[in-house]
Amino acid sequence: MGKEALDYVLVPLGLVLMLGYHAWLLLRIQRRPATTVIGVNAINRRIWVRHIMEEPSGKHAVLAVQTIRNNIMASTLLASTAITLSSLIAVLMSGGGGGEPGAGGGDLLPDAPLVVGATGEAALSAKFFAILVCFLVAFLLNVQSIRYYSHTSTLVNVPIRAHRLRRPGLAVDYVTGTLNRGSYFWSLGVRAFYFSCPVFLWLFGPIPMFAACVVMVCVLYFLDVCEDWEEEQGLSGGDETSERGKDVGDTQV
C-alpha cells in the first residue's frame, strides 16, 4: 500500500495543477486577452478577416484559401496522428502486444524497482486508458477544427457588399467567430497532446508524472503569456478586448 499511496496523492495533485493552470488561463483570456498569445492571435485574425472581406477587387481570395488550407493540413496531421496512436494503445490494452488476451499489456512494464507506484494489471490498464482518452479527445477536437476551417474557407471569400445587412460588420463578426472557433479547437487539440505527455510518464510512476506536470505548466506559461502586446494597444485595445471576451464566452471550449 505504500507505493500505491503515491499514485493516490501525486497523480490527482498533478491533474489539479494542470487543470488549475488552464482555468487561470481561461479567465485571463476573458479579462485581459491582449496579455495572452491566444488573445493576440484572435485580435489579429479579426483584422485579417476584415482585410480580406473588405478588399473590393478580391485579389486576396487566393491568399485566404491558401492560409486556411495550411491550417486544415495542420489539423489533419494532428488528427491522423491522434487516431493512429489511439489505435496502437487500444491494441496494447487488448493484449495485442504479445501477451494473452485481457492481459492489458502487463508484459510491457514488469514489476521493476525503478517503477515507483502501482504496477498491477488494473493500474496499468487505467494508465493506458488515460493515454487513450487523451488521444481520442485530441482527434475529436482536431476534427472539429477542420470543420470550422472548411466553413471559413468559403465564408471569408464572400465580399461584404454582397451581404444585404443593416450592419455589414455582422458578416465580419460571424466569419471571425467561425475562424476563431477553428483555431480554439486546434489549440485544444494540441493541449490534449501536451496533456498526454505527463499521462504517458505515469507508466513509469507518479513521481515522473507529477514532475512532468510541473514542468509542463512552467513551459505553457512561457508560451501562453504575452505582456508586450497590451502595452502597445493604446485606446483601441479596449474594443478588441471586449470583442475577444465575447468570442471566448460564446465558444466555451
pLDDT tens-digit profile, the chain (253 residues): 456 677 788 889 999 999 999 999 999 999 988 899 999 999 999 999 988 888 767 677 888 889 999 999 999 999 999 999 998 888 887 764 444 444 444 455 555 555 666 666 777 888 889 999 999 999 999 999 999 999 998 888 887 776 666 666 788 888 999 999 999 999 999 999 999 999 998 888 888 899 999 999 999 999 999 877 765 555 344 444 445 455 444 433 3
CA distance 125 to 132: 10
Residues in the chain: 253
- List, in sequence order, the alpha helices (H) in 54-168: 61-93, 121-155
Q: What pLDDT shows up at residue 8?
A: 82
Q: What pLDDT was estimated at residue 253?
A: 35
Question: Judging by beta carbons within 10 Å of its beta carbon (0-12, 13-18, 19+), is residue 238 exposed, middle or buried?
Answer: exposed
pLDDT at 215: 95
What's the pLDDT at 138? 95
Closest by CA to 185, choosing from 79, 50, 81, 66, is: 79
- Measured CA to CA, the distance from residue 220 to residue 222 in angstroms comes to 5
pLDDT value of residue 101 = 41
Give the Cβ contact number of residue 253 at 10 Å.
Answer: 12
Tell me the three cell numbers of residue 246.
465575447
Name 114's Cβ contacts closer than 8 Å, sequence gap at least 6. 204
Report the Cα–Cα distance between both ends of the chain, in Å, rounded: 38
| CA 173 – CA 243 distance, rounded (Å) | 9
Number of Cβ atoms within 10 Å of the Cβ of 70: 11
Helix (H, G, I), strand (E, B) or coil at 7: helix
